[in-house]
């Protein structure tokens, strides 16, 4: 099999994402981050995974007044700027993108969307961890979505560890999955034909307890298959 190179954006749990996405012997991973000054490495990449982590600074979606609702120790404007630049490159060069948790959120912001800064305060719901462990809940995939096609399921259980989520959708995007109370759990392109894959999920497939779940294994393999086909 021909080698493919996946860029994974840097975060505190980078190794988890890198190990998970490099599940096949033909996959090489490169670390993309401002701390490594490694943006130039994206030129080697055939696809990009935007990892989870800090809250996106609300000034990037024109709601600076939301900053007090963010976890202030968990805001990194340099990372925001770096990943917005990465997303710009992927769209210009037509690279497939896989966004996880914060990766979904920063991608939505990139396309002009906004975020709910704190789900408990704004939606009277809770999707954060429970005593340090991921919460688990049901999601429903949208009919005719790429996510429904990939997973083959109308509903299923995923893990959850976030206090922010999508508010206004970015331009050209559509919801692909929702939680029972209406929190956005997946987004993708409204009109995907002729455009590079944009697979964005709010949960953490890289650390689900059931790694054989279609909401982990299938979405990873689908992303890698798409990258491989584009690189043939």
In this structure, are residues 48 and 39 in contact, taking their beta carbons and an 8 Å threshold?
Answer: no
Q: How many residues does the structure list for the chain?
A: 232
Report the C-alpha gap between 186 and 215 in whole angstroms: 11
Q: 3-class DSSP state for residue 102? A: helix
Catalytic residue among 54, 83, 185, 206: 206
Catalytic (active site) residue 206: yes
Helix (H) or strand (E) holding 139: strand 135-141
From its phi and psi, is residue 93 left (phi > 0), alpha (psi between -120 and 50) or beta?
alpha
From the list 148, 138, 113, 144, the residue with the least C-alpha distance to 203 is 138
Catalytic residue among 57, 162, 163, 204: 204
End-to-end CA distance of the chain: 10
Catalytic residue among 101, 162, 163, 185: 101
Catalytic (active site) residue 70: no
Report the C-alpha gap between 69 and 67 in whole angstroms: 5
Catalytic (active site) residue 43: no
Report the C-alpha gap between 136 and 132 in whole angstroms: 13
Annotated catalytic residues are: 101, 204, 206
């Amino acid at each position: 099999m021909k080698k493919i190179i996946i860029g994974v954006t840097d975060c505190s749990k980078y190794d988890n994402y890198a190990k998970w996405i490099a599940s096949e012997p033909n996959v090489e991973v490169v670390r993309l981050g401002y701390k490594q000054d490694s943006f130039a490495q994206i030129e080697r990449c055939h696809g990009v995974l935007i990892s989870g982590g800090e809250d996106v600074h609300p000034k990037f979606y024109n709601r600076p007044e939301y900053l007090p609702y963010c976890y202030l120790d968990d805001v990194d404007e340099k990372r925001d700027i770096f990943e917005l630049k990465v997303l710009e490159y992927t769209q210009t060069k037509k690279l497939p993108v896989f966004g996880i948790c914060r990766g979904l959120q920063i991608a939505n912001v990139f396309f002009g969307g906004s975020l709910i800064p704190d789900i408990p305060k704004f939606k009277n719901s809770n999707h954060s961890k429970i005593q340090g462990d991921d919460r688990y809940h049901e999601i429903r995939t949208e009919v005719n979505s790429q996510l429904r096609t990939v997973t083959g399921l109308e509903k299923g259980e995923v893990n959850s560890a976030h206090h922010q989520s999508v508010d206004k959708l970015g331009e050209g995007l559509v919801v692909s999955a929702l939680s029972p109370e209406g929190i956005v759990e997946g987004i993708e392109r409204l009109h995907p034909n002729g455009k590079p894959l944009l697979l964005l999920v709010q949960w953490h497939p890289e650390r689900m307890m059931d790694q054989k779940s279609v909401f982990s294994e299938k979405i990873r393999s689908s992303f890698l298959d798409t990258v491989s086909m584009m690189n043939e």
